[in-house]
Each structure stands twice: as C-alpha cells, then as structure tokens.
Amino acid sequence: MSGTGEVSRRDALRDGRKEAARVNGVSVRMLTESDELARITDWMYGWWGLREGYTREAVNACMAHSLRVSGLPRTFGLFLGEELIGMYQFTLSDLFVRPDVYPWLANVYIDEKHRGLGFGREMLRSVAGNAASVGLRELYLFTEHTGLYEEFGWEFIGTIDTHLDPREQRLYRLLV
C-alpha cells in the first residue's frame, strides 16, 4: 500500500482519536475525578459485582482506583452532551485464568436506556486512539459477541475456557 495514498485499517482506526472525539454530541473522555464514581459503581455492581459476590463497597473501591491520570487502570466515559451514558477501562487483569495476557479492554458498558442506538459503536471507535495515547501497543478482551469487535480492528485469537458463565468465550487482540 505504500505510496498509493491509502491508509491501513489500523492507522485509520488510530487517526484522529484524541482524548475527546466528538460526533453528534457524543464524546469519549478519560474519567479522572469522582464526579461519576457513583454511576459507574452502580453499573458495574449491577452487571457483575452482585453476581460474582462482591459488595457494593468493593466495586466502588475498584472503580475509585481506576480514575487515574497515569498508569493502569484507566477509565473512559462516553458522554451524550454532559450525561455519562457508557464506559470502558484499560486494565492489567480481567480474566483470572489468563494472567499471562494483558493489558485488557474491560467493562465495556452502555447504559440500558441508550443501548441499540449506535452509541456502543461510537465508543468502540475511540479505543485504539485512547490506548495509543496512554502508551499501550496492544489490548486483549474476552466476550460472547461475534462479529462486533472485528469491525474495529480486533483480531479473533480463539475460544477460551473462562471458568465463568458462560465458560466458553471469544478472545480478541487489538494492535494499537
């Protein structure tokens, strides 16, 4: 492709992705202050905290320690205007049975009332650029979803036994 003026898919995913990328009133910003802590704690406690036996206080502590300006974990929020409607995190650990794989894209979440409206795709478009901006070269994720992450440059590595419910899920990698 060299010299043709074409841009590789990976470069296209990375281009223009700064801390805040605005499209139709939607922006993705790093969360570094506790203003949104209660909301992200509620989301994660309702999604996995209660099911996995964590107290709300434990999930709150986990989320509070992810509101950082350096290092990992890092949390990014999806805003519609000034309303937080989604989030994702970069973490060093997300799957207990695979400590050899890191860093992770974790806790990819859209508020229930905003699901199915394309906001998740807007949020996923920001991942590569935000990962590059914090110095990451690759990311991993595990999910039940088929076909979604491939749209954003993720490479399917294979199925893995997560020892969670469901046990068999898909492992992906993104080169940033």
pLDDT confidence of residue 23: 53
pLDDT confidence of residue 20: 38
Which CATH architecture fits 20-175?
3-Layer(aba) Sandwich (3.40)
The first and second tokens of residue 71, run together, are 């290092």
pTM for this entry:
0.85
51: left (phi over 0), alpha (psi -120 to 50) or beta: alpha
d(CA 94, CA 143): 11
pLDDT confidence of residue 107: 98
pLDDT at 83 over 70: yes
Longest dimension (CA), the chain: 56
pLDDT confidence of residue 13: 41
The full set of domain ranges for the chain reads 20-175
- In this structure, the chain runs to a length of 176
Mean pLDDT on 28-32: 96
165 pLDDT band, cuts 50/70/90, is confident
Mean pLDDT over the full length of the chain: 88
Does residue 99 have a cis bond before it (omega within 30 degrees)?
no
